[in-house]
Amino acid sequence: MDNRIYLCLAHMSGNEMKYIQEAFDTNWVVPLGPNVNEFEKDLEEFAGEGKHVVALSAGTAAIHLSLVLLGVKSGDEVLCQSFTFAASANPITYLGATPVFVDSEEHTWNMDPNLLEEAIKDRIAKTGRKPKAIMLVYLYGMPAYIDEVMEVAKRYEIPVVEDSAEAFGSRYKGRMVGTFGRFGIMSFNGNKMITTSGGGALICPDEETKKRAMFYATQAREPMPYYLHKDIGYNYRMSNICAGIGRGQMTIAHDHVAHHRHTKDLYQEAFAQVDGICLHVAPEDYMEPNYWLNTITVDAKKTGRDYEQLRLHLESLNIESRPLWKPMHTQPVFKDAPAYVNGVSERLFAKGLCLPSGPYVTDEDIARIVKALC
């Protein structure tokens, strides 16, 4: 059988061991340390816009901290994109708050700005108060209609958290995503654009907010010679070893983004003449996705096979693929959560497939995948 083609395997630069060895040689193997400090500087330079970054144990931890810093508490509501991975919504419940799901528009597959405003108006009418935050997600690295979402958020004075876990390196009108809202989220899970073996980061608007985030991420310990705690804190800081991996990864971050965009170009050219398979590409010129995972929708009537049959066919040929995210408003765990839906995410889930796109996916691999699908 041919070698397996994976969706997105971690790819090392060769520089990681230098920083890891440095951590061992200096015995900085615990959370915090020189690698953490330097990795945060690398991320701040990468994000730009004068932002400040806190390296953390996971992207989910970053989402949770963003909500803590926004003052989300038990009984509050947070508007959350429905078409996403569960980690976008789960931290809302950690705080005893309720996620209010908002469906997508069909062009970017991200939060529909018009439906967002409808949801805000209806929540105010039903509860007598505004939701505390908006959780905007950039699905598979695709920027949303950020200007439109931010305009609604500004009008109702609701802060935005940008879940950019899948969008490391994506740009909107020349600016890195994750830098438009009050907070931005990065993820360095093993299958993301860069990895630290796990880990994530919180993009903060200023130094003071970064310090507050670091305070909560290190068990909310007060600056005293003994352990004094006035707030509930969390053990969320990144280890110096993992940050060393991150520093090595940053040396090839732009190369990774370029490769994913290259795979998109190959898929786009190959599927251009295929009736019934549509590659999802940026709907606007000012959107520059990283194409973390290239995604297709399948017209079963035209292809003779639905997305699940194609997935199983690819699997039989040792090619990994997977369905799109199952919308949060259809998940049993969130069955009682309010939801404002238009059918877009459910239709996409019923016909969408993610294709291999990572750094180890070669041009020959893509030719093999395309042949299998066509």
Query: Is residue 1 over pLDDT 80?
Result: no
Q: Is the pLDDT of residue 32 over 90?
A: no
The reported pTM is: 0.96
Render pLDDT for 161-188 as a digit per residue (tens, 0 to 9).
Answer: 999 999 999 999 999 999 999 999 999 9
- Residue 134: pLDDT band (50, 70, 90) is very high
Top CATH class of 253-373 equals alpha beta
User: Cα–Cα distance between 177 and 185 in angstroms, integer?
Assistant: 9
Burial class, 94, CB count within 10 angstroms (exposed 0-12 / middle 13-18 / buried 19+):
middle
Q: What is the pLDDT of residue 205?
A: 98
The mean pLDDT of 266-292, rounded to a whole number, is 97
Asked whether the domain spanning 253-373 has the same topology as the one spanning 16-250, the reply is no
| CA-based torsion, 331, 336, 338, 344: positive or negative | positive
The mean pLDDT value of the chain amounts to: 97
Does CATH number 3.40.640.10 belong to domain 16-250?
yes
Q: How high is the pLDDT of residue 28?
A: 81
Contact (CB, 8 A) for 202 and 56: yes
- Domains of the chain, by residue range, sit at 16-250, 253-373
Three-state DSSP at 288 gives strand
